[in-house]
């Protein structure tokens, strides 16, 4: 409890009943959450009775680490700290029988699997036109998270996408159950549905977890709200921590009214405001508070108070065009580095990924090392997903999407026409697609090449499954499988260069290492271990490799949430970029709902971005920016206009300075040195 301010102290000391902790940016939110867990344990609450949920694996890992430092690793392990999806997965695994599953070996569908399933379902209906698969999946996801009943959904008006989604939704759900699979939405929605059907199981889980803590509550959607209300409804010992002013994920389903209406959902709730900011200087916070003061949205009344007085005035930079803006950022960063500032302490934030190209080019010319956040993660890479597809077939023979993905990869003569004949035969004879592949010799109409390919595939799957069953490690079995199907030779032949092949094969080697580390910690029953491992890997989608050496971070404003740097540049602060065109244009309704047309959420995004800075903040915009190759005059963001002039130090940059010969030679030498030449 040492060092906590009065508000933090009040949040930690509150024992029973609902508690809403409104934690402003930089107010020590994580410290309060972990100190509260430690305090509950100190007061005699059993560790196994505490459940803390958050949104990312990284945040959950940090919370576990902090709790362990306060109460010891042995006690900390007994506290359940998980993401919403991770907790939901544990419920589904424990209640597989109650869910009507054949066993607990269900599989998880990621976004790619869901898209593939919708693509297959579209082939079975007369859609009348071509549809964007992602838009259909998004509508199915929205319906799931709002627990829409079929009758209710049918009565609701909508566009062509709503109509096709309504048509496919029951087929999509039936296909998932047939494959013994859940998608990511199911990990939260299905436990709630189960508890609504089975009061005895709801009571069991309520008795197990009598204290519930929810981090980043402003990011919860409707399904997550219902999970919290169901689980915490009996004892009401629900503590949620968040900030409605940092709610920036409506496009992903988050509903800011969850935190605004907490006192209605949990009557008698105590409200504690954390308004002391320990991150940013007073000058930066003055700008952040001014941005929120102009808001007309419903919000909890709170104002950040700086623990650090003074600070550099916020710089307002007006550049002639986007190239001049990028060059200014690069030169200013180069100057900061000359003054001794580490590159890792600097970040450039933008609204759209497309803005990074000019910045990367300018920083490269200035010999500034960069790290672009938002690249493809290991488990999302095609080559890795192909190998995981094989492993899914080993443990989930009913997963038709996995079978379709790898039965002809590498190519073995089982093309689309053969696949359709196999699918028809499987339906007619009442067995799975894999079953049809295994019986390809009995199916009419298949070419000799297709039959040979099916036999080869079935043989590999059978032997790999046998290796796991007889005690081979997951890593050794996977290496054997990759070799048996000739994946390395296929990748080498398909790669355009040795460099491209090495990069793709490096991803496979990284996967082998993941399995090797898992094998070192696991015991027997390799097949069951693989079931668990595949589920865990499906949830590891938010892990960040972290900074690579001393590099400047380039990241979107959304991607910067939860992070902080000493020096921050916000670029492209113009109408159409921030707020984004989708939020301004009423036609955004056609792109997926009212969330896309929320100007106030764009304001909150600006606020979140401002409060990433500790020591110095640059607000940059351009007078013109190229659109389809032609310069277009830009208007300053409405949010910039609402900041009082006295809080800003204006700077105008009219042209890209011509480098001297010495500067050019120095930059080229630095670039070559960084490339090892």
CB 588 within 8 A of CB 596: yes
Which residue is catalytic, options 30, 111, 257, 651?
A: 30
> How close are the terminal C-alpha atoms of the chain, in Å?
54
Specify whether 107 is catalytic.
Answer: no
Catalytic residue among 36, 381, 561, 612: 612
Q: How do beta strands 80-83 and 50-54 pair? A: parallel
For residue 375, what is the DSSP state?
P
CA–CA dist 254, 124 (Å, integer): 33
Residue labelled with tokens 């050496």: 549
Q: Could you say which of 180, 210, 246, 478 is catalytic? A: 246
Q: Taking a C-beta distance cutoff of 8 angstroms, is the pair 180, 106 a contact?
A: yes
**659 — phi, psi (to 5°)?**
-70, 140
Per the annotation, the verdict on 29 as an active-site residue is yes
Q: Which of 513, 512, 382 is nearest to 110 (CA)?
A: 382
246 is catalytic: yes
- Structural contact between residues 373 and 559, judged by C-beta atoms closer than 8 angstroms: yes
Q: Transcribe 487-522 into DSSP letters.
A: HHHHHHHH-SSHHHHHHHHHHHHHHHHHHHHHHHH-
Answer positive or negative: Cα dihedral of 348, 353, 358, 362. Answer: positive
What six digits make up the tokens of 105? 């070996």
Q: Are 161 and 139 in contact (CB under 8 A)?
A: yes
Query: Can you name the residues that pair with 109 across neighbouring β-strands?
Result: 183
Which is catalytic among the residues 95, 183, 216, 595? 216
Tell me if residue 612 is catalytic. yes
Judging by DSSP bridges, how do beta strands 181-183 and 270-274 pair with one another? unpaired
Helix (H) or strand (E) holding 421: helix 416-429
Query: What is the number of H-type helices and E-type strands within the chain?
Result: 30, 18
Q: How far apart are CA 450 and CA 312, in angstroms?
A: 70
Locate 377 and state its tokens. 């993660």
Catalytic residue among 113, 185, 186, 215: 215
Residue 544 CA to residue 550 CA, distance in Å, equals 16
Q: Beta-carbon neighbour count of residue 608 at 10 Å?
A: 22
* Torsion of the alpha carbons at 139, 145, 146 and 148, rounded to the nearest 10: 70
- Catalytically active residues are 29-30, 215-216, 246, 612
């Amino acid at each position: 409890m040492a060092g906590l301010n009065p508000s933090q102290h009040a949040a930690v000391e509150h024992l029973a009943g609902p508690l809403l902790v409104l934690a402003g940016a930089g107010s020590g939110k994580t410290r309060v959450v972990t100190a509260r867990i430690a305090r509950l344990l100190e007061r005699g609450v059993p560790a196994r009775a505490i459940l803390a949920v958050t949104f990312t694996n990284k945040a959950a890992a940090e919370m576990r680490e902090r709790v362990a430092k306060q109460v010891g690793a042995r006690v900390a392990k007994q506290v359940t700290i998980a993401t919403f999806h991770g907790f939901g997965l544990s419920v589904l695994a424990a209640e597989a029988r109650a869910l009507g599953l054949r066993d607990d070996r269900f599989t998880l569908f990621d976004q790619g699997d869901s898209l593939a399933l919708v693509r297959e379902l579209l082939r079975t209906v007369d859609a009348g036109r071509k549809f964007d698969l992602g838009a259909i999946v998004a509508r199915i996801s929205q319906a799931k998270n709002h627990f829409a009943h079929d009758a209710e959904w049918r009565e609701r008006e909508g566009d062509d996408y709503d109509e096709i989604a309504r048509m496919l939704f029951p087929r999509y759900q039936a296909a998932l159950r047939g494959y013994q699979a859940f998608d990511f939405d199911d990990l939260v929605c299905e436990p709630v549905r189960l508890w609504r059907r089975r009061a005895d199981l709801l009571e069991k889980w309520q008795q197990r977890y009598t204290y519930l803590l929810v981090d980043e509550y402003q990011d919860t959607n409707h399904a997550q709200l219902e999970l919290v209300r169901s689980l915490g409804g009996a004892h009401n010992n629900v503590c949620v921590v968040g900030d409605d002013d940092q709610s920036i994920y409506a496009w992903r389903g988050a509903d800011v009214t969850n935190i605004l209406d907490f006192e209605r959902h949990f009557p008698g709730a105590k409200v504690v405001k954390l308004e002391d900011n320990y991150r940013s200087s007073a000058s930066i916070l003055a700008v952040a508070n001014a941005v929120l003061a102009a808001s007309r949205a419903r919000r909890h009344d709170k104002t950040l108070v700086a623990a650090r007085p003074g600070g550099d005035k916020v710089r307002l930079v007006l550049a002639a065009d986007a190239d001049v803006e990028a060059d200014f950022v690069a030169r200013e960063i180069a100057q900061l580095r000359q003054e001794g500032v580490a590159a890792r302490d600097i970040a450039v934030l933008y609204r759209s990924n497309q803005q990074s190209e000019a910045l990367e080019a300018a920083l490269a010319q200035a010999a500034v090392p960069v790290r672009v956040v938002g690249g493809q993660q290991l488990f999302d890479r095609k080559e890795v997903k192909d190998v995981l597809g094989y492993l899914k077939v080993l443990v989930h023979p009913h997963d038709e999407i996995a079978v379709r993905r790898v039965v002809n990869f590498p190519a073995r003569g089982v093309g689309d026409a053969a696949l359709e004949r196999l699918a028809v035969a499987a339906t007619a004879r009442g067995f799975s697609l894999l079953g049809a592949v295994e019986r390809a010799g009995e199916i009419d109409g298949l070419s000799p090449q297709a039959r040979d390919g099916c036999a080869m595939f079935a043989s590999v799957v059978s032997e790999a499954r046998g290796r796991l069953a007889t005690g081979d490690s997951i890593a050794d079995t996977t290496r054997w499988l990759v070799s048996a199907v000739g994946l390395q030779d296929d990748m080498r032949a398909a790669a355009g260069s040795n460099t491209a092949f090495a990069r793709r094969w490096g991803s496979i080697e990284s996967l082998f290492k993941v399995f090797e580390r898992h094998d070192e910690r696991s015991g027997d029953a390799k097949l069951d271990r693989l079931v668990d491992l595949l589920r865990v890997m499906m949830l590891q989608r938010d892990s960040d490799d972290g900074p690579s050496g001393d590099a400047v971070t380039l990241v979107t404003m959304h991607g910067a949430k939860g992070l902080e740097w000493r020096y921050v540049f916000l670029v492209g602060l113009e109408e159409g970029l921030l707020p984004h065109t989708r939020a301004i244009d009423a036609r955004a309704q056609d792109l997926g709902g009212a969330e896309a047309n929320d100007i106030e959420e764009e304001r909150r995004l600006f606020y979140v971005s401002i409060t990433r800075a500790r020591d110095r903040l640059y607000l940059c915009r351009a007078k013109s920016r190229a659109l389809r190759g032609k310069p277009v005059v830009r208007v300053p963001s409405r949010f910039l206009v609402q900041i009082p002039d006295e809080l800003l130090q204006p700077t105008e940059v009219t042209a890209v300075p011509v480098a001297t010969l010495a500067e050019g030679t120095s930059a080229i030498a630095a670039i070559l040195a960084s490339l090892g030449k």
